[in-house]
């Protein structure tokens, strides 16, 4: 007989399978709906607040960051760069041009702020710009005053009357006595030709071509005996720059004996770099100074520009003729040459007006109403405190200005105390 234990009706109180899971799911859905309702209410409240903040704002109004004017927005808020509150852009600045410099835009400053940060203005004007050019130079002998003493016959050096380099000589002073059998033979032929009356002119011309002085030929014509020795004399007064032979040395027609130069009027050679070739011209006045001769200055002019550029130094030589007493200038002496630039009317700005980033240069144009616009330029000649900017139009009479050294991007305010602007004359 089977018996059933348990309380009567206990099977009717047991939960169905999956009831616990459904209970948890119900609470999860309820929480999600509650969060969605809270988010909707919060969004609606934020929208109402935004509407109240923008109520009365004119259409087209824009805001920007006072520290980063390049960031603009169409509604109030915070600057994503520094967190400052955005301020409305004045209506007078609505037409401010953005400029042509990447990453920069125009900015409008009220007069109080311009004065507070120390913005200065300067005229961008067309005026003569004559910047001097300083070059390294050295003294060298005048090539037209240098002579080589040489004989045109074979022989031997019998006597060196001047045997020291650097020794001073005068015109006509004996330098070298040469013994030459070839010379003796030529003089004998001339004497015999004169006595016979045949070929005298040809023999005389041969002596002249051999470099025999006219005084020696005149001595033979007066009845003198042929000589085995020839004395060579200084063709000019000056200094012995080179001595290439010694006493007793055999020589030939291709043997230079001495080099004599007149150093009273030396040349000055200056090195001009490729970038400065257009700034030096024939006839430009120059001044020369040397640390070896302090307190003294020589004046002169550029006499000649050599036609080639050195492949090693990338410079071109300029020859300068000096004026006045130049006897104290020794060959090889180094110094400095200042070439006076030629004045030309060009558009120029102060050097501090140009902002140099390393990759590009730009200035700020200061327009009417406190507006400043960045403009990219390419600098040309640099004359110390003034530079020539290319691609910058001359300011209009209506009041266009240009910023004088405004710093780039977020450093602008910090550096602006050293800044200024370019204004019309």
- Among 55, 54, 56, 75, which Cα is nearest to 64's? 75
Between 277 and 147, residue with greater pLDDT: 147
- Residue 289: its pLDDT value, please? 94
* Three-state secondary-structure class, residue 31: helix
- Distance, in Å, from the CA atom of 270 to the CA atom of 407, rounded to the nearest integer, reads 40
Q: Is the pLDDT of residue 178 over 70?
A: yes
- Distance, in Å, from the CA atom of 370 to the CA atom of 393, rounded to the nearest integer, reads 19
- Residue 298: its pLDDT value, please? 94
Beta strands in 33-145 (DSSP E): 63-64, 72-73, 87-88, 107-108, 120-123, 125-129, 133-140
Tokens at residue 109, please? 């400053």
- Distance, in Å, from the CA atom of 350 to the CA atom of 294, rounded to the nearest integer, reads 34
φ/ψ region of 369 (left if φ > 0, alpha if ψ in -120 to 50, else beta) reads left
Cβ density class 13-35: b for 16+ within 10 Å, e for less: eeeeeeeeeeeeeeeeeeeeeee
Please, how many CA atoms are within 13 Å of residue 153, restricted to the half-sphere of its CB?
A: 26
Please, what are the domains in the chain?
Answer: 62-87 (no CATH), 95-128+344-423 (2.40.420.20), 133-141+264-339 (2.40.30.170), 147-261 (2.40.50.100)
Which residues have CB under 8 Å from 213's CB, separation 6+?
A: 233
pLDDT digits (tens, 9 = 90+) for 64-83: 787 777 778 888 888 888 88
Q: Is the pLDDT of residue 420 over 50?
A: no
- Residue 388: its pLDDT value, please? 63
Q: Is the pLDDT of residue 287 over 90?
A: yes
- Distance, in Å, from the CA atom of 135 to the CA atom of 276, rounded to the nearest integer, reads 10
Cβ density class 213-236: b for 16+ within 10 Å, e for less: eeebbeebeeeeeebeebbbbbee
Between 59 and 173, residue with greater pLDDT: 173
- What integer is the mean pLDDT of 97-124? 74
- Distance, in Å, from the CA atom of 152 to the CA atom of 186, rounded to the nearest integer, reads 12
Report residue 344's pLDDT band, with 50, 70 and 90 as the boundaries.
Answer: low
- Residue 425: its pLDDT value, please? 36
Flag the least confident range among 26-35, 89-98, 123-132, 252-261.
89-98
- Residue 299: its pLDDT value, please? 94
Report residue 243's pLDDT band, with 50, 70 and 90 as the boundaries.
Answer: very high
**Residue 242 forms beta bridges with which residues?**
259
Beta strands in 132-191 (DSSP E): 133-140, 146-150, 155-160, 168-169, 174-179
- What integer is the mean pLDDT of 169-188? 90
Report residue 406's pLDDT band, with 50, 70 and 90 as the boundaries.
Answer: very low
- Residue 242: its pLDDT value, please? 93
Percent of residues, the chain, with pLDDT higher than 70: 77
* Run of H or E including 305: strand 298-309
* Three-state secondary-structure class, residue 108: strand
- What integer is the mean pLDDT of 198-222? 87
* Cβ-contact 165, 242 below 8 angstroms: yes
Q: Is the pLDDT of residue 328 over 80?
A: yes
Neighbours of 247 (CB within 10 A): 12
- Distance, in Å, from the CA atom of 99 to the CA atom of 82, rounded to the nearest integer, reads 23
**Opening angle at CA 19, ends 16 and 23, nearest 5:** 160
- Residue 103: its pLDDT value, please? 65
> How much is the mean pLDDT over the chain?
79
Between 351 and 310, residue with greater pLDDT: 310
Report residue 288's pLDDT band, with 50, 70 and 90 as the boundaries.
Answer: very high
Report residue 300's pLDDT band, with 50, 70 and 90 as the boundaries.
Answer: very high
Distances (CA, A) of 10 to 4, 5, 13, 317: 12, 10, 6, 121
Q: Is the pLDDT of residue 302 over 50?
A: yes
Report residue 393's pLDDT band, with 50, 70 and 90 as the boundaries.
Answer: low
* Cβ-contact 337, 134 below 8 angstroms: yes
Q: Is the pLDDT of residue 314 over 50?
A: yes
Flag the least confident range among 135-139, 240-244, 376-380, 409-413.
409-413
Report residue 332's pLDDT band, with 50, 70 and 90 as the boundaries.
Answer: very high
* Run of H or E including 233: strand 229-233
- Residue 151: its pLDDT value, please? 86
Percent of residues, the chain, with pLDDT higher than 90: 28
- Among 232, 256, 231, which Cα is nearest to 243's? 256
């Amino acid at each position: 007989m089977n018996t059933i234990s348990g309380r009567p009706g206990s099977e009717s109180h047991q939960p169905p399978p999956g009831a616990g899971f459904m209970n948890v799911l119900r609470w999860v859905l309820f929480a999600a709906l509650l969060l969605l309702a809270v988010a909707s209410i919060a969004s609606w409240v934020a929208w109402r607040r935004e509407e109240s903040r923008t109520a009365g704002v004119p259409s087209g109004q824009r805001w920007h960051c006072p520290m980063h004017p390049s960031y603009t927005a169409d509604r109030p808020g915070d600057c994503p760069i520094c967190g400052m509150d955005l301020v409305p852009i004045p209506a007078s600045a609505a037409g401010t041009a953005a400029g042509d410099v990447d990453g920069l835009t125009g900015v409008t400053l009220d007069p109080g702020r311009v004065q507070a940060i120390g913005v200065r203005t300067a005229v961008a004007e067309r005026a003569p710009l004559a910047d001097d050019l300083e070059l390294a130079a050295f003294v060298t002998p005048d090539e037209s005053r240098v002579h080589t003493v040489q004989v045109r016959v074979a022989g031997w050096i019998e006597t060196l009357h001047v045997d020291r380099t650097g020794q001073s000589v005068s015109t006509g002073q004996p330098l070298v006595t040469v013994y030459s059998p070839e010379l003796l033979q030529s003089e004998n032929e001339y004497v015999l030709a004169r006595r016979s009356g045949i070929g005298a002119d040809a023999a005389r011309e041969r002596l002249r071509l051999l470099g025999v002085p006219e005084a020696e030929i005149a001595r033979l014509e007066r009845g003198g005996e042929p000589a085995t020795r020839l004395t060579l004399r200084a063709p000019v007064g000056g200094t012995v720059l080179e001595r290439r032979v010694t006493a007793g040395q055999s020589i030939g027609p291709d043997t230079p004996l001495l080099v004599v130069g007149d150093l009273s009027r030396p040349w000055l050679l200056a090195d001009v770099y490729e970038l400065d070739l257009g700034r030096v011209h024939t006839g430009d006045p120059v001044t020369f100074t040397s640390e070896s001769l302090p307190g003294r200055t020589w004046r002169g002019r550029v006499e000649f520009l050599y036609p080639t550029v050195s492949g090693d130094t990338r410079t071109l030589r300029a020859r300068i003729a000096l004026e006045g007493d130049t006897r104290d200038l020794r060959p090889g002496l180094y110094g400095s040459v200042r070439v006076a630039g030629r004045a030309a009317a060009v558009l120029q700005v102060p050097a501090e007006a140009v902002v140099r980033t390393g990759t590009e240069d730009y200035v700020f144009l200061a327009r009417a109403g406190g507006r400043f616009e960045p403009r990219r330029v390419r600098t040309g000649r640099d004359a110390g405190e003034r530079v020539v900017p290319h691609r910058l139009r001359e300011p209009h009479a209506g009041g266009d200005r240009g910023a004088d050294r405004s710093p780039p991007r977020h450093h602008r305010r910090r550096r602006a105390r050293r800044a200024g602007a370019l204004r019309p004359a």
